[in-house]
Amino acid sequence: MIKIKRIYDKPDDEDGFRILIDRLWPRGLNKDWVKIDLWLKDIAPSNELRKWFSHDPDKWVEFKKRYFAELSNKKESTGLVLNKERKKTVTLLYGAKDEKFNNAVALNEYIEKSRQ
pLDDT for 67-104, tens place per residue? Answer: 999 999 999 999 999 999 999 999 999 999 999 999 99
pLDDT of residue 116: 66
- Of all helices (H) and strands (E), which one includes residue 64? helix 60-71
Whole-structure pTM value: 0.93
Strands 2-6 and 38-39: unpaired
Interatomic CA distance for residues 52 and 59, integer angstroms: 9
- The alpha-carbon radius of gyration of the chain (Å, integer) is 13
Interatomic CA distance for residues 104 and 27, integer angstroms: 18
